[in-house]
Amino acid sequence: MSSIEISLQSQLGDFNLDVSFETPARGVTALFGRSGSGKTSVLRAVAGLVKTPQGLVRVNDEVWQDENRFRPAHRRPLGYVFQEASLFPHLSVRRNLEYGWRRVPEQERQIPFHDVVELLGIGTLLQRTTQSLSGGERQRIAIARALLTSPRLLLMDEPLSALDHGAKQTILPYLESLHDEFTIPSLYVSHDPNEVARLADRMVVLEQGKVIAKGDAATILTRLDLPLAGYDDAASLLEGTVSSHDHTYHLTWISTHGGRIAVAREDLPVGRRARVQIQARDVSLSLRAHSDTSIINILPAKVIDTHDISQTQMLVRLEMDDGQTLLSRITRRSALGMGIREGMHLYAQVKSVALLS
């Protein structure tokens, strides 16, 4: 059973947590929701840091908790990255990294020390004291420290939220490569749709201690009935593969079964999996495929449904030929003028695309 199954019920004051979901034991599953929705409570219970009166936690074929059993946190092979790095101030950086590493029997260490140090770019920090590190460096050490226990499940509680924008941008690529490099399934708590779009494969959306949606990140992020799409920066995620590079105009072509997308040239091998993010506000709609436009990325699509987000604007959810979802934000006036209705075939003109990974 290559999956992670979590089912937790607990009553804390007037907060009622009742969360159940099952997710494949690979890639990143984001626990998404506002603060107070119970995301962190779920993570803490999965880690065994709190004991819920009723609960089931199963990782692959190992049951960490059910009605009869409760494995304490230190017996669960997991890695936990807290919101603040929480490095041990009495130990050097190297000692911090070795703290968990030494406590894992040698034959169970699957991730070489050196690989982690290299992946997170912390080789030059090893001899330093924790006090001398910047916020971003501290969080990288904390991630490395968790990885070095060779966890079978990685739990991350908004690891970027305590960092400023710059530090966040430097850490995100490390997190992305981490999931490419090591095949450790992770639960990633976040309230930031952009972070989720970059990192997550699947999403579980929580509200007031309950699961209100779960599924593929690309699908969930573009669902119009969820609060996510109402965000000013509603966006869609498309998966494809790098198909070719255009040396003349310095472009990289990403192909999906629903059409080709050009992005600014990136040095990626042809055939590599690529994920792009498209802001709904950057997608305009047209009834015909224009060739007399400056826009390169024009994708055929079909209207699935629409949703008014204000008196002026609306979101249109489109399905591409390969079934992937694309969101477009247009004015209600244009929609009326074009006669947009469900099932209608049209062309999405994409003005700007961000290559995520």
Partner 1 sequence: MIFDWQPVWLTLKLAGVSTLILLVIGTPIAWWLARSTNWYKQIISAVVALPLVLPPTVLGFYLLIMLGPEGPVGRLTQSLGLGTLPFTFGGLVVASVIYSMPFVVQPLHNAFQSLGQRPVEVAATLRASPWDRFMTVVIPLARPGFLTAAVLSFAHTIGEFGVVLMIGGNIPGVTKVLSVAIYDHVETLEYGQAHLLAAGLLAFSFVVLLALYLLNGRLNRNHQP
Interaction site with partner 1 (CB under 8 A) = 47-49, 72-74, 78-80, 82, 84, 86, 88-90, 99-100, 103-104, 130-131, 145-146, 149
**Angle, CA of 204, 143 and 104, to the nearest 5°:** 105
CB 154, min distance to partner 1, A:
11
CB of 69 to partner 1, least distance (A): 17
Closest CB 100 distance from partner 1, rounded Å: 3
Nearest distance from C-beta of residue 78 to partner 1, angstroms: 7
**Nearest by Cα to 300 from 256, 345, 339, 257:** 345
The DSSP code for 92 is B
Q: 79 or 240: whose CB is closer to partner 1?
A: 79
Cβ neighbours around 114 below 10 Å, total: 9
Question: Which residue intervals of 226-286 are DSSP H helices?
Answer: 227-230
Nearer to partner 1, 154 or 353 (CB): 154
**195, 208 Cβ separation under 8 angstroms:** no
Q: How far apart are CA 41 and CA 52, in angstroms?
A: 10
The SS3 call for residue 109 is: coil
At residue 305, φ and ψ (nearest 5 deg) are: -155, 175
User: In the structure encoding, which two tokens stand for residue 69, read together?
Assistant: 């059993």
Distance of CA 49 to the CA centre of its chain: 24
- Cβ nearer to partner 1, comparing 87 with 327: 87
Rounded least distance, CB 177 to partner 1, Å: 23
Comparison of 153 and 205: residue with beta carbon closer to partner 1: 153
Nearer of residues 79 and 136 to partner 1, judged by Cβ: 79
The count of C-alpha atoms lying within 13 angstroms of the C-alpha of 297, restricted to the half-sphere facing its C-beta, is 24
Q: How far is the CB of 30 from partner 1 (least distance, A)?
A: 20
Residue number with CB closer to partner 1 (101 or 347): 101
What is the closest distance, in whole angstroms, from the C-beta atom of residue 222 to partner 1 in the complex?
A: 34
Q: Which is nearer to partner 1, 146 or 348 (CB)?
A: 146
CB of 93 within 8 A of CB of 133? yes
Residue 288: is it exposed, middle or buried by C-beta count within 10 angstroms (0-12/13-18/19+)? exposed
- Secondary structure (3-state) at 96: helix
